[in-house]
Amino acid sequence: MSKAKLRKTMYENDTCVLPHDILFDVLIKVHVPSLLRFKSVSKSWNALISDNNMFAKAQRDQSKALGRQKIMLQRTTGEFEFIHLENHKGIVEKQNFPKKFQRAHILCSCDGLVLLKKPKAYKKFILWNPSSGQHRIIECPYHKLYNYNLPHACGLCYDSDTDDYKVILIYSVFYVVYSTSKGSWSTMKTNHPILVQHLPSFKLQPNSRLFMCDGGICMEGRVYWSLKNKIDPFIRKTSTIIYYDMKSDELKELPTPLFVREDENVLFRLSSVNGCLSLYGGNFVTRELNIWIMEQDDWKLLMRINMSINYLIHCLKLLCCTKNGEFIFDGPGYNKLSIYDPKIQQFVTTTYISNHMEYVLPYDTPTLCLDSLYFPSNVMHKKKKLKHIQ
């Protein structure tokens, strides 16, 4: 036996000595790129990492607990790049998407899954796990229902009770839901007249290359959007916050907070902070940014930043709060990330993603994505008649 074969045999035998439970607990703490390489260590490691859905879920949950999120960016060339929040000073990953779907832009994300869409491909959406490289093409059969070609808003969320990720698309008079576990769509006619009144038919012009669809904020089995004459990222006194409730499969309305309703000079945006729904913004007169979070169905003021509201709310988008308490904003301008440290109450860093304008598409906002191995199992897609719920 050659020395190379002997070393390989000894190495594989050594891996078998480690008890399965201990190996399981160790590997779920490993980043996905390393896990993909570890599949070649031995057949037993490959089986544990590749064929065990329980392992993929445990690794996803461990990544959540460790806060292993990364910021997903897209170049105009179609290439995606990622900045780990554990090391936000440089780009650490690059990944190409299948050529036929390059230039598809990011709609929204949930955990380690990202929903994308290519302009002019009205009915085709792509569900993608950037960490593992797995993807699934989703075709919406309702894209021409009532002559509405394109959705105004979309969302992606996870139902822990049924272990199911769902895609939500909101059109003018109805919304549709795709179940990744069942591989099927359902359509519900909304009972909110405000959608019918304020969401006109949106059709892509033949010469248009830009498809705009507002991605909601995913939080604990719900997806939230703000509404004022259209799906609008800014929340004012007259705005309405709506959400999709995964438990009941219904589109509902969330009462607008009192601190928004009582002031005509406020402007807020939806976000998520520390696993909670968040509103950030404030009054133009006071010139300070307030960050609110929802805890136990009540709004709590988390922090104030003394800076021009008009500047912050239009030029910076709150992406997340890191494990060490820093707040990361997208902006100001393209290719920049701003980091605010509440301990010293000031912005401490502006990270330049690139010196070239090619890095981030003007209409794509950097998106958070979890370092996760999990991807919904493949299912048989059966053709079904359109299902309407009045």
Q: Is 208 helix (H, G, I), strand (E, B) or coil?
A: coil
- Could you give the CA distance from residue 117 to residue 363 in angstroms, rounded to a whole number? 13
Please report, for the chain, the start and end positions of each structural domain, with discontinuous segments joined by +: 57-370
Which pLDDT does position 62 carry in this prediction? 93
Report residue 178's pLDDT band, with 50, 70 and 90 as the boundaries. very high
Report residue 214's pLDDT band, with 50, 70 and 90 as the boundaries. confident
Mean pLDDT within 340-367: 66
pLDDT by residue (tens digit) across 57-92? 999 999 998 888 888 887 766 677 888 876 655 555
Residue 384's identity, in one-letter code, is K
Mean pLDDT within 367-385: 71
Which pLDDT does position 128 carry in this prediction? 92
Q: Fold for domain 57-370?
A: Neuraminidase (2.120.10)
- Could you give the CA distance from residue 32 to residue 22 in angstroms, rounded to a whole number? 18
- Could you give the CA distance from residue 60 to residue 91 in angstroms, rounded to a whole number? 22
pLDDT at 25 over 60: yes
Which pLDDT does position 145 carry in this prediction? 56
CA separation, residue 5 to residues 1, 8, 11, 12, 363 (Å): 6, 5, 10, 11, 53
Contact 295, 277 (CB under 8 A): no
Mean pLDDT within 89-98: 62
Report residue 334's pLDDT band, with 50, 70 and 90 as the boundaries. low
Closest CA to 276 of 300, 251, 253, 260: 300
Which pLDDT does position 313 carry in this prediction? 65
Mean pLDDT within 324-344: 82
**Token couple for 143:** 């894209």
The pTM of the full predicted model, rounded to 2 decimals, is: 0.82
Contact 239, 179 (CB under 8 A): no
Report residue 224's pLDDT band, with 50, 70 and 90 as the boundaries. very high
